[in-house]
């Protein structure tokens, strides 16, 4: 048994949300294009499941009233049009509150919405309503020139609002998500006017707004918009992107010049009340061709990056021996099997859990996901959220926890031996009883059962 004395401050293990982790650990350029505009180049969902990556699905019923007593009032998920409806079989709807179908665009020369044919026919709306979820339609407009054309004209704004009202009526949707990206500073006031008109036209519907991780030009009146809309959803990802000169975390929680913590704080400092703010996290990562195996290695000039989803990442060489980066709280690994070095940074269950805990510590309204379907139904992603949803006696508020690979393997082995008098496989086959919690203190290598 490896000693834990040197590394652990405090480890809390949830009785009904264990994830069997076989290896984790561990030039920031921000995108000039937008995270959702780049989304069509992200890999489609795969159906691959890695038998040893996760525990069997937990037998834990949701509270009678969805999320009652939970730390998040909102769990928001975008569902892109390119994801197959079959992906719904892997979505744990008891852990969600909203699905935002993505998307219908805008003809900025007139303000009219683009084709709503897919919105009219998608089975996702009927399915989501049947599961008791609120359904939103996402309206997209990307680019400074496009937004200037749309928002600078009161006539075009009015046409857009009218068409949104009609589109929601088509499917009796519960609300709308406005995803306008690369907003020019000249349209700051007009963006507010647009949302005010939308609120006047939809007094009984929910209005949410996707906001950038960094407001480069002070284009966003966050405080005013948050008071008109029901809540803002930060797009807390693409801090490293396709144009980055080094590999790095798509969504660093800490460290780096820009990170999710700073993005949340910027919104709060601007006057957004915590209950009006949802933090979006990525269910995808990014892979670059790099010049060495060093952490955050330089990207080879002329190469293109790819965006593995949470699920498809487990097909990649190196994922099983990934490292959890203690500075940024995101996992990464190298693949040099082909003679070409590839470096991938991606959020896994451990790094997502760190984000959940930070979001909760800030008192935000909830968490959002880009994008549903990218999880592939993997229990290792959903059970981390489940642990946050179901009231328990688990101590899980220690944000500075940064276990290494050896720590994680060691503590799972320790639990397996103490609780089941057996192996890690015994632990995987026999979920721990709910209502118990397990602590590991510094300079101690024994479990405390309560």
User: What pLDDT score does 34 carry?
Assistant: 66
**Is residue 354 situated within a structural domain?**
yes
**H or E, element range at 233:** strand 231-235
Q: Which domain holds residue 107?
A: 61-285+346-389
Across 72-76, 90-94, 232-236, 423-427, least confident range? 423-427
Tens of pLDDT, residue by residue over 143-178, are 999 999 999 999 999 999 999 999 999 999 999 999
Contact (Cβ atoms closer than 8 angstroms) between residue 429 and residue 56 = yes
162 contacts 117 by C-beta, under 8 angstroms: no
Residues above pLDDT 70, as percent of the chain: 71
What is the Cα–Cα distance from 294 to 247, expressed in whole angstroms? Answer: 10
Residue 56 located in a structural domain: no
Q: What angle do CA 270, 276, 281 make, to 5 degrees?
A: 90
Q: What is the pTM of this model?
A: 0.79
Q: Could you write out the DSSP letters of every residue in 100-169? A: EEEEEEEETTTTEE---HHHHH-HHHHHHHHTT-EEEEEEEEESHHHHHHHHT-HHHHHHHHHHHHHHHH
Q: Is 413 a member of any domain?
A: no
Distance CA 203, CA 187 (A): 24
Out of 51-65, 109-123, 182-196, 337-351, least confident range: 51-65
Is 254 inside a domain boundary? Answer: yes
Task: Please provide the size of the chain in residues.
Answer: 450
Inside any domain, residue 297 = no
Starting at the earlier edge strand, list the strands of the sheet with 10-14. 10-14, 437-441, 448-449
Residue 196 lies inside a defined structural domain of this protein = yes
Mean pLDDT over 347-359 rounds to 93
Model confidence pLDDT, tens digit, residues 243-273: 999 999 999 999 999 999 999 999 999 999 9
Strand partners, 142: 181
Number of domains in the chain: 1
The average pLDDT across 117-122 equals: 98
Evaluate whether residue 171 is within a structural domain. Answer: yes
CATH number for position 352: 3.20.20.80
Give the mean pLDDT of the chain: 79
In a domain, 192, yes or no: yes
Task: Tell me the C-alpha distance between 238 and 77, whole Å.
Answer: 17
How many Cβ atoms are within 10 Å of 7's Cβ, its own excluded? 16
Angle made by CA atoms 205, 208, 214, in degrees to the nearest 5? 170
Q: Under DSSP, is residue 279 helix (H, G, I), strand (E, B) or coil?
A: strand
């Amino acid at each position: 048994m490896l000693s834990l004395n040197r590394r652990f401050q405090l480890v809390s293990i949830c009785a009904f949300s264990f994830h069997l982790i076989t290896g984790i650990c561990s030039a920031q350029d921000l995108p000039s294009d937008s995270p959702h505009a780049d989304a069509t180049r992200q890999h489609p969902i795969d159906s691959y499941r890695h038998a040893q990556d996760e525990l069997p699905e937990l037998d834990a019923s949701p509270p009678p009233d969805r999320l009652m007593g939970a730390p998040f009032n909102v769990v928001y998920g975008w569902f892109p049009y390119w994801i197959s409806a079959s992906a719904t079989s892997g979505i744990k709807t008891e852990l969600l509150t909203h699905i935002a179908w993505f998307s219908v665009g805008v003809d900025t020369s007139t303000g009219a919405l683009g084709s709503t044919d897919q919105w009219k026919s998608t089975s996702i709306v009927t399915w989501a309503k049947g599961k008791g979820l609120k359904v939103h339609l996402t309206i997209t407009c990307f680019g400074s020139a496009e937004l200037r054309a749309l928002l600078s004209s009161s006539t075009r704004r009015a046409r857009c609002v009218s068409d949104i009202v009609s589109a929601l009526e088509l499917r009796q949707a519960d609300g709308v998500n406005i995803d306008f990206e690369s907003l020019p500073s000249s349209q700051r006031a007009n963006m507010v006017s647009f949302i005010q008109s939308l609120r006047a036209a939809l007094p009984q519907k929910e209005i949410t707004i996707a906001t950038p991780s960094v407001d480069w030009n002070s284009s966003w009146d966050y405080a005013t918009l948050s008071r008109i809309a029901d809540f803002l959803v930060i797009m807390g990802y693409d801090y490293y992107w396709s144009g980055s000169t080094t590999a790095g975390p798509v969504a660093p929680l800490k460290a780096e010049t820009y990170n999710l913590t700073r993005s949340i704080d910027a919104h709060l400092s601007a006057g957004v009340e915590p209950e009006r703010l949802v933090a979006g996290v990525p269910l995808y990562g990014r892979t670059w061709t790099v010049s060495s195996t060093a952490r955050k290695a330089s990207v080879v000039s002329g190469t293109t990056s790819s965006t593995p989803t949470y699920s498809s990442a487990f097909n990649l060489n190196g994922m099983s021996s990934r490292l959890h980066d203690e500075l940024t709280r995101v996992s990464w690994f190298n693949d040099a099997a082909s003679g070409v070095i590839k470096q991938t940074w991606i959020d896994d269950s451990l790094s997502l859990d760190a984000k959940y805990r930070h979001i909760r510590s800030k008192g935000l309204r909830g968490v959002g996901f880009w994008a549903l379907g990218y999880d592939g139904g993997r229990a290792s992603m959903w059970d981390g959220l489940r642990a946050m949803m179901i009231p328990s006696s688990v101590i899980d508020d220690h944000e500075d926890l940064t276990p290494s690979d050896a720590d994680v393997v060691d503590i799972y082995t320790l639990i397996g031996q103490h609780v089941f008098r057996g192996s890690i496989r015994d632990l995987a086959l026999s979920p721990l009883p709910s209502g118990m919690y397990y602590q590991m203190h510094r300079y101690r290598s024994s479990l405390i059962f309560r």
